[in-house]
Amino acid sequence: QVQLVESGGGLVQAGGSLRVSCTASGRTFSRLHMAWFRQAPGKEREFVASINKIGTYTYYTNSVKGRFTISKDNAKNTVSLQMNNLKPEDTAVYHCAATENSNSAYDYWGQGTRVTVSS
């Protein structure tokens, strides 16, 4: 089992920045491929960004490219999402997710951290 705990959410004005982080335990972190998803009120969960187990490859959904950066620190068992130039439409609960197999769905999920962007 993998336990994932997110932190760092909060309220920020449009155009501002926020960093959310996720700390993992229960598995060797360097073997985990990680991702961030988000779910806005009344909407389905959507993919935001992912990073491979060694942190050399990242992928982003189009709406956050150039604004968000995902990073992975295997020494600290942490994956982070730096969010810049935030927009009201980025308001959501952000969840981190993990998988040991890059070809399969994400098996482990955190409880989420809320990000609210005011206009």
> DSSP of 56-115, one letter per residue?
--EEE-GGGTTTEEEEEETTTTEEEEEE-S--GGG-EEEEEEEES-TTS---EE---EEE
Q: How far apart are the first and last CA of the chain?
A: 40
- For residue 107, how many other CB atoms are within 10 A of its CB? 13
pLDDT band for position 73 (cuts 50, 70, 90): very high
- Summarize pLDDT for 16-64 with one digit per residue, the tens: 999 999 999 987 899 999 999 999 999 999 999 999 999 999 999 999 9
